[in-house]
Amino acid sequence: MLYAGNRCAPRRSISLVVLGICLVGAGCQDVATTWSTEATSPDGRWVAVARSQQWGGPGTAYDATTVYLRLTKSGQHPIVDFLFPDPFCQRQVLVFSQEYATINLTMKWVSPTHLDVAYGPSSRPGDQVSIVFQVVKCAGVDISVRELSSDTTR
């Protein structure tokens, strides 16, 4: 009888460990969009989409903002049609990492082929923003990035 009781203890421990791993794994997939905006190019051919997302979970919490380019019209340029065969396909051109759920970000089309993105931290104290990934030209569109001064973010 004493031997049978000892055999159950490891099974119970293994069951608890497996249950704990499942619960932690389920919590790591938590992602939410906290902010988004769009800007359409003057000729209506491109849409720039910015989206801030927040991931949660033990040891995996992360806040990031991504800027995508999406082609809205095709059939006008063979290189663009090759790079963007699906008009609803988005190309990632910028990724920012930040301390909080949103950042101060503006997108302005200077011309049909030039997108200007300005960024800075949110108004929350201690917020910091850094560029993680940057593309300077995508399918004929120039992407300029500038950091907002601390005076304009407050």
pLDDT, residue 26, reads 54
Q: What is the pTM of this model?
A: 0.69
Span 11-25, pLDDT tens digits: 666 666 666 665 555
CB proximity list for 40: less than 8 A, separation 6 or greater:
46, 47, 48, 72, 109
Cα–Cα distances (Å) from 22 to 19, 27, 66, in that order, read 5, 9, 29
pLDDT given for residue 154 in this prediction? 38
Per the structure block, which two tokens stand in for 69? 């380019």
Greatest CA separation found in the chain?
82
> What percent of the chain shows pLDDT beyond 90?
36
DSSP reduced 3-state for 150: coil
pLDDT digit string, tens, across residues 29-46: 578 888 999 999 999 999
Give per-10-residue mean pLDDT for the chain (154 aa).
57 66 58 91 94 84 90 64 62 89 91 95 86 91 88 43
Q: Which backbone phi and psi does 83 adopt, to 5 degrees?
A: -75, -30
Residue 152's pLDDT is 46
**Token pair listed for 85:** 């065969």
Contact between 67 and 108 under an 8 Å Cβ cutoff? The reply is no
